[in-house]
């Protein structure tokens, strides 16, 4: 190590995630201290990296000493939790010391009094500014001008609508703007946020406390709206939008412009719009490659975006995701017409409340996709209590089995919790939690075999369950909705995030468990009859 150039050592230290580690490394020798002082360009401070018994004053001293030992710092990240409230003086000293060379600042520090970050960092070389839990007041674009800023992120920030508009206008090169849990201070009961930028390419807005958003930009390509309740959203531009994502948004009137020729991806979930209808806004997007309507409720047949309309309007569509609440008498409208979805290779289908219409709808949609390669089924099965609910679960099981038998050319049927393979079909379905009696009753209703997960483990199944599964109370078991397949295929369980993943091993033919002399089923892997399904 002693033969490494000091510049290389500085570059190595810059890749350490925590400033605490840099401080430890700098104590190795004089050469490493020199590297930290002259060639370290990135520092990250997080209160979680330091002992919890450190006082606020001690943290201030450590950060101050570390920053002042560097020269030419370009990236600075300081995130201190709410238990510490710093004095304004040391924070101002950090910013003044680094502002000549700083390119990126991520700042989440509570101070008393509040520090005006814009005043300290304006007119400098800053390109990325990420502010969290801060208050911005009195923006003066003529003085606080960010000539190099390309990315601005405001999270849990209090700012007036006028100051926000002035701040965006003071960034002539801004390309990305993220507004997350923004508290917009206004005296107007009908608060309006107006933003104008001719360079902005990406906007993310979540939980912004306004009633109206008017965005005037000529080059916007990505629009992501989340958790908003608006009277009006209006986009004024030149039709450059490529990606539109809307989640948990309610808006009375929405206008994204007449030109949608460049639109490639539309992802809409939990969305409520009064006028105009959602489809009318995107119907001219003939270059659309990805379309997702999730959690959409259709009250009448005129609102339904059926497969025929999708096939005709979006001939280049490759990825289609739909989750409808199909009501009685409306199923045939969603499947009307005969135009194929020729380019769709990935199809995702799901339900909000499972019904007898889901199976026929899935089969109908698959028939419209001759070049389908991957099918993803999402859904949630609640505990079955009534006979009708148990019959619904049993019918769903039969539907999945028929689906696997018929469409062996489809590579994947996917859900993030449980995976199985059958021939060339990969199937992933859901695990649900319920009591043993309800699932056995559901199985007996359809004359199939139900097997609880803990019983499957008793038959030599390999288990590597997550902590959440292991901690489940003894009276509560996890079951696979496809209880028929659990009884018919050898399986294993491995860790996947916070849930158990059930992988049904591939088998060329279905496996039928042998009957015991007492009439029961022998489910051990070495006691199976090999018989092909009809």
Last residue within a domain, chosen from 379, 404, 425: 379
pLDDT at 454 over 70: no
- Give yes or no: residues 433 and 533 share one domain: yes
DSSP one-letter code for 211: S
pLDDT digits (tens, 9 = 90+) for 344-379: 999 998 876 777 778 888 888 898 999 998 888 877
- Give yes or no: residues 349 and 422 share one domain: no
The percent of residues above 70 in pLDDT, for the chain, comes to 64
Residue 223 burial class via C-beta count within 10 angstroms: exposed 0-12, middle 13-18, buried 19 and up:
buried
- Give yes or no: residues 519 and 503 share one domain: yes
- Give yes or no: residues 433 and 476 share one domain: yes
Confidence of residue 450 (pLDDT cuts 50, 70, 90): very low
pLDDT at 335 over 50: yes
| Collapsed DSSP state (helix, strand, coil) of residue 517 | coil
- Give yes or no: residues 428 and 510 share one domain: yes
pLDDT at 2 over 90: no
301 domain-assigned: yes
Name the average pLDDT for the chain: 73
Q: Which residues of 355-364 are buried (b: 16+ CB within 10 A; e: fewer)?
A: bebbbebbee
To the nearest 10°, the Cα dihedral for 113, 119, 124, 129? 60
- Give yes or no: residues 452 and 337 share one domain: no
Confidence of residue 328 (pLDDT cuts 50, 70, 90): low
Cβ-based neighbours of 481, under 8 Å, separated by 6 or more = 381, 393, 396, 397, 429, 430, 431, 432
pLDDT at 361: 84
- Give yes or no: residues 364 and 433 share one domain: no
- Give yes or no: residues 386 and 526 share one domain: yes
- Give yes or no: residues 398 and 528 share one domain: yes
Residue whose structure tokens are 């107007």:
188
124 domain-assigned: no
Average pLDDT over residues 70-90: 91
Last residue within a domain, chosen from 322, 346, 379: 379
pLDDT at 69: 83
pLDDT at 326: 57
pLDDT digits (tens, 9 = 90+) for 474-533: 222 233 333 333 333 333 333 332 233 333 332 333 333 444 455 444 433 333 332 323
pLDDT at 55 over 90: yes
Helices (H), 355-494: 358-367, 387-406, 436-445, 453-457, 467-470, 483-488
Q: How far apart are CA 336 and CA 357, in angstroms?
A: 15
Which has the higher per-residue pLDDT, 276 or 314? Answer: 314
Which of 246-255, 275-284, 336-345 is least confident? Answer: 275-284
303 domain-assigned: yes
∠ at Cα 133 (132, 136), nearest 5°?
95
pLDDT at 333: 54
239 domain-assigned: no
Q: Answer whether 164's CB lies under 8 Å from 140's CB.
A: no
Q: How far apart are CA 168 and CA 159, in angstroms?
A: 12
Q: Answer whether 247's CB lies under 8 Å from 296's CB.
A: no
∠ at Cα 458 (457, 460), nearest 5°?
75
Q: How far apart are CA 35 and CA 9, in angstroms?
A: 6
Average pLDDT over residues 388-412: 74
Q: How far apart are CA 181 and CA 154, in angstroms?
A: 8
335 is written with which tokens?
């499947």
pLDDT at 448: 34
Domain count, the chain: 2
Confidence of residue 88 (pLDDT cuts 50, 70, 90): very high
Query: Among candidates 303, 348, 358, which has minimal Cα distance to 325?
Result: 358
Which of 123-137, 297-311, 515-529 is least confident? Answer: 515-529
- Determine the structural domain holding residue 490 and report its residue range: 380-534
- Give yes or no: residues 437 and 357 share one domain: no
193 domain-assigned: no
- The pTM (predicted TM-score) of the whole model is 0.76
Confidence of residue 1 (pLDDT cuts 50, 70, 90): low
Query: Among candidates 337, 269, 326, which has minimal Cα distance to 303?
Result: 326
∠ at Cα 276 (270, 281), nearest 5°?
80
Which has the higher per-residue pLDDT, 454 or 347? Answer: 347
242 domain-assigned: no
Confidence of residue 86 (pLDDT cuts 50, 70, 90): very high
pLDDT at 303 over 70: no
pLDDT at 411: 56
pLDDT digits (tens, 9 = 90+) for 194-211: 999 999 999 999 999 999
Which of 234-238, 332-336, 339-343 is least confident? Answer: 332-336
pLDDT at 174 over 70: yes
104 phi and psi angles, rounded to 5 deg? -135, 130
Q: At what angle do helices 56-68 and 88-98 cross, to 10 degrees?
A: 20
| Collapsed DSSP state (helix, strand, coil) of residue 31 | helix
pLDDT at 451: 36
Q: Answer whether 13's CB lies under 8 Å from 36's CB.
A: yes
Q: Which residues of 411-435 are buried (b: 16+ CB within 10 A; e: fewer)?
A: bbbbbebbbbbbeebbbbbbbbebb
Q: At what angle do helices 387-406 and 436-445 cross, to 10 degrees?
A: 70
pLDDT at 19 over 90: no
Which has the higher per-residue pLDDT, 156 or 484? Answer: 156
Last residue within a domain, chosen from 309, 344, 379: 379
pLDDT at 400: 74
- Give yes or no: residues 353 and 484 share one domain: no
33 domain-assigned: no
pLDDT at 17: 58
pLDDT at 149 over 80: yes
488 domain-assigned: yes
- Give yes or no: residues 415 and 470 share one domain: yes
Average pLDDT over residues 36-45: 78
Average pLDDT over residues 235-240: 92
pLDDT at 404: 73
Can you give the length of the chain in residues? 534
Average pLDDT over residues 238-256: 92
pLDDT at 138: 86
pLDDT digits (tens, 9 = 90+) for 289-298: 999 988 765 5
Cβ-based neighbours of 152, under 8 Å, separated by 6 or more = 129, 167, 168, 171, 174, 176, 177, 178
């Amino acid at each position: 190590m002693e033969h490494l150039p000091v510049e290389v050592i500085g570059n190595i230290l810059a890749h350490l995630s925590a400033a605490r580690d840099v401080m430890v490394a700098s104590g190795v020798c004089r050469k490493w201290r020199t590297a930290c002082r002259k060639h370290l360009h990135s520092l990250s401070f997080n209160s979680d990296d330091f002992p919890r018994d450190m006082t606020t004053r001690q943290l201030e001293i450590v950060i101050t000493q570390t920053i002042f030992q560097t020269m030419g710092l370009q990236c600075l990240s300081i995130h201190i939790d709410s238990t510490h409230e710093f004095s304004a003086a040391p924070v101002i000293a950090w910013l003044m010391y680094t502002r000549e060379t700083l390119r990126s600042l991520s700042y989440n520090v509570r101070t008393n009094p509040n520090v005006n970050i814009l005043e300290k960092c304006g007119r400098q070389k800053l390109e990325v500014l990420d502010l969290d839990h801060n208050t911005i007041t009195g923006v003066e674009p003529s003085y606080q001008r960010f000539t190099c800023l390309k990315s601005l992120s405001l999270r849990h920030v209090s700012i007036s609508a006028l100051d926000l508009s002035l701040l965006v206008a003071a960034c002539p090169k801004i390309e990305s703007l993220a507004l997350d849990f923004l508290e917009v201070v206004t005296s107007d009961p009908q608060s309006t946020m107006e933003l104008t930028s001719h360079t902005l390419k990406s906007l993310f807005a979540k939980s912004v406390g306004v009633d109206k958003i008017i965005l005037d930009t000529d080059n916007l390509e990505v629009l992501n709206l989340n958790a908003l309740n608006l009277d009006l959203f209006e986009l004024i531009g030149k039709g450059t939008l490529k990606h539109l994502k809307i989640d948990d948004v309610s808006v009375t009137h929405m206008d994204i412009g007449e030109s949608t020729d460049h639109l490639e991806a539309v992802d809409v979930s939990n969305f409520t719009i009064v006028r105009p209808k959602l489809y009318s806004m995107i119907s001219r997007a003939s270059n659309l490659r990805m379309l997702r309507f999730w959690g959409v409720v259709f009250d009448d047949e005129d609102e339904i975006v059926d497969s025929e309309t999708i096939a005709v309007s979006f001939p280049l569509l490759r990825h289609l995701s739909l989750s409808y609440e199909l009501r009685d008498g409306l199923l045939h409208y969603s499947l009307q017409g005969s135009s194929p979805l020729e380019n769709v290779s990935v199809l995702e289908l799901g339900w909000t409340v499972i019904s007898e219409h889901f199976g026929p709808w899935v089969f109908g949609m698959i028939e419209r996709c001759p070049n389908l390669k991957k099918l993803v089924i999402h859904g949630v099965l609640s505990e079955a209590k009534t006979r009708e609910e148990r019959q619904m679960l049993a019918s769903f099981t039969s539907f999945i089995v028929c689906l696997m038998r018929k469409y062996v050319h489809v590579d994947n049927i996917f859900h993030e919790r449980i995976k199985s393979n059958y021939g060339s079909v990969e199937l992933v379905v859901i695990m649900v939690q319920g009591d043993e009696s309800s699932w056995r009753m559901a199985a007996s209703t359809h004359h199939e075999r139900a097997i609880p997960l803990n019983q499957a483990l008793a038959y030599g199944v390999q288990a590597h369950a997550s902590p959440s599964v292991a901690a489940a109370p003894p009276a509560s078991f996890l079951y696979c909705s496809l209880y028929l397949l659990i009884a018919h295929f050898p399986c294993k369980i491995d860790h996947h995030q916070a849930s158990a993943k059930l992988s049904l091993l591939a088998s060329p033919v279905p496996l039928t468990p042998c009957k015991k002399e007492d009439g029961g089923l022998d489910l051990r892997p070495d006691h199976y009859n090999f018989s092909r399904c009809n």
